[in-house]
Homo-oligomer: A and B are copies of this chain.
Amino acid sequence: MPSTKPRPLAPLYEQIRQLIVAALAAGEWRPGDALPSEAALAERFGASPGTVRRALDELTAEHLVERRQGSGTFVSTHAAPRQQFRFLRLVADDAAGSFTRELLGCRRMRATAEVARALGLRTAEPVIEVRRLLHRRDRPVVLDELWLPERHFEGLTADVIRNHPGALYALFEARFGVHMVRAEEKLRALAAAPEAARLLQVPEGEPLLSVERLAYTYGDRPVELRRGLYHTSADHYRNELN
């Protein structure tokens, strides 16, 4: 909840950080683009290069931008291969094998009360529902269902997804200009219901890891609700606490 107390003026590097985020949210620099040099940013914001560097340090720590040795600072993109593991934490116990994706369906529907609440929509506002399976070594391990506000993803169809070879988040930023910045997940163990059991090829009642995600774009706007069911007999969800 936003505070109503007046806040003391943020340090200069934080103000510049916020201005850069606003420019990212406005699409001035798109995922994968190079940012202007530190000197150019310093001139634009009327700050010292050190202050700009500090703001870029913060943005790097938040994974909004990334530095590449010798070539400058770039807007983070989900198209970069290692970005995938930021948002897909399921790894094979033997650390082997990558995922293949199988689209089960993509349809337009009215938001349920729950989807609307999570995404900050009016009830019955149109959303797009996507269902898919992820397979590893030809066995299904993840059943994902996700809901997206149509107003941000107009024109998203099964064909659009099938024609895109990479991760969904890479498609979302490339085609719809929606870059996922962070996500909150709630994990629990559930017994497989009949349909999930059939799709994941496990017995009914098999323990599954349920991962409910709310993903946010720039400016902390929720733009995806996702429910994943992970079959964890030979895979696990990896987390780091610090």
Which residues of A approach B to under 8 Å, CB–CB?
Answer: 61-63, 86-87, 89, 181-191, 205, 207-210, 212-213, 230, 232-233, 235-242
Contacts and interface: CB of A to CB of B under 8 A. Distances in A.
22 contacts: A62-B242, A181-B242, A182-B241, A183-B240, A183-B242, A184-B238, A184-B239, A184-B241, A185-B239, A185-B241, A187-B209, A187-B232, A187-B237, A188-B232, A188-B233, A188-B235, A189-B209, A189-B232, A205-B205, A207-B207, A207-B208, A209-B209
A90 to B, nearest CB: 9
Contact of A191 (B62, B207, B240, B242): B207
B63 A182 contact: no
Contact of A207 (B63, B182, B189): B189
| Copies of this polypeptide in the complex | 2
A91 to B, nearest CB: 9
A239 B90 CA distance: 14
A238 B190 contact: no
A181 B190 CA distance: 31
Question: Which of A182, A210, A242 gathers the greatest number of chain B CB atoms within 10 Å?
Answer: A242
Contacts of A210: 189
Contacts of A209: 187-189, 209
